[in-house]
């Protein structure tokens, strides 16, 4: 085995997909759908805990999903190149992978925000977070440390997800935030089309101009409509690859809406940091953890 194991993580929408080594450390992972009051702003709350031998650290390649995430760390802080090492961060939307190095007690709660959730819960346009990891205390002030202290006594179960829900509801109540339906609907349309929709057609379907659409995406999504389409096409191919791992790349490129196979290769290099062949050969296939889940 490689002395420096790496695993991959991609949130594809309905379920998380892990590409992981068979000798990976065991852990507890789960997720919960938020209550109705949070659903316009929050897609899902994830929680996890595992032990990684410090003598054998693990790198996790997190592939872009187009979303913004809040990560509240309860264990030993992971090492993220280019980050200042803050324990809890808001991770902006991006079009490149992030590499996280983990060792020791790995324990965290991650909140995946919906379009509109950034402005509502963090008070800034999503575009200001693009491709950045911002310490949560810079956005929430003392509330960030208070949230960690509320989470820490809870076990990594749905009880911890409920504690995170309470924190988020408190933030929303203080901000009197409202959802942005146009942003959410635009992203849903892109996902339904698997990224195969033009910006002009998207704006027309929403009954707004292209400039207004760009403004909505800057404030509520954090990426341009074209960038979100790129990620949607990539994720659709990864989902196809999971179902049909032996499928020819030329077929995947055609079905995924890429111009040709070289276009697909370039996008895999940009979005995953790997050539398609290397992406497929990493590890021993997709691994879905036995997570707790509740709707």
**Residue 148 scores a pLDDT above 90:** yes
Q: What is the rounded CA–CA span in Å between residue 24 and residue 32?
A: 24
Q: Greater confidence, 3 or 53? A: 53
Domain-by-domain residue ranges, the chain? 6-178+284-294, 181-273
Residue ranges of the alpha helices (H) in the chain? 117-122, 137-140, 142-151, 158-175, 181-192, 199-206, 210-220, 225-243, 249-255, 261-272, 276-281
Neighbours of 119 (CB within 10 A): 22
Tokens of 121: 């819960």
Q: What is the rounded CA–CA span in Å between residue 197 and residue 269?
A: 22
Q: What pLDDT, in 10s, does the model give residues 63-84?
A: 999 999 999 999 998 887 766 6
Q: What pLDDT, in 10s, does the model give residues 191-212?
A: 999 999 999 999 999 999 999 9
Give the Cα-Cα-Cα angle 268, 274, 277 (nearest 5 degrees): 85
**Residue 289 scores a pLDDT above 90:** no
DSSP 126: G
Considering only CA atoms, give the Rg of the chain: 19
CATH class of the region 181-273: mainly alpha
Average pLDDT rounded to a whole number, residues 4-26: 58
Report pLDDT for 82: 60
């Amino acid at each position: 085995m490689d002395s420096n194991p790496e695993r991959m993580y991609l949130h594809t929408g309905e379920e998380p997909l892990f590409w992981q080594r068979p000798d990976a450390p065991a852990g507890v992972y789960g997720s919960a759908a938020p209550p109705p009051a949070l659903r316009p702003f929050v897609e899902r709350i994830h929680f996890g805990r595992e032990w990684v031998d410090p003598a054998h650290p693990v790198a996790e390649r997190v592939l872009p999903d187009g979303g913004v995430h809040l990560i509240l760390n309860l264990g030993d802080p992971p090492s993220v190149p280019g980050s200042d090492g803050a324990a809890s961060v808001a991770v902006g939307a991006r079009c490149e992978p992030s590499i996280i190095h983990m060792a020791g007690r790995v324990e965290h709660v991650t909140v995946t925000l919906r379009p509109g959730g950034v402005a509502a819960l963090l008070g800034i346009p999503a575009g200001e977070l693009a491709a950045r990891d911002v310490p949560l205390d810079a956005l929430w002030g003392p509330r960030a440390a208070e949230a960690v202290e509320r989470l820490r006594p809870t076990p990594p179960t749905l009880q911890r997800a409920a504690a995170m829900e309470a924190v988020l509801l408190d933030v929303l109540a203080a901000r009197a935030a409202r959802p942005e339906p146009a942003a959410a609907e635009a992203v849903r349309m892109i996902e339904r089309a698997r990224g195969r929709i033009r910006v002009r057609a998207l704006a027309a379907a929403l009954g707004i101009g292209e400039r207004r659409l760009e403004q909505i995406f800057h404030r509520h999504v954090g990426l341009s409509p074209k960038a979100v389409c790129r990620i949607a096409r990539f994720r659709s191919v990864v989902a196809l690859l999971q179902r049909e791992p032996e499928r020819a790349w030329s077929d995947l490129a055609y079905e995924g809406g890429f111009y040709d196979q070289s276009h697909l290769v370039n996008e895999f290099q940009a979005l995953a940091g790997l050539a398609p062949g290397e992406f497929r050969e990493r590890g021993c296939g997709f691994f879905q953890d036995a997570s707790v889940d509740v709707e």
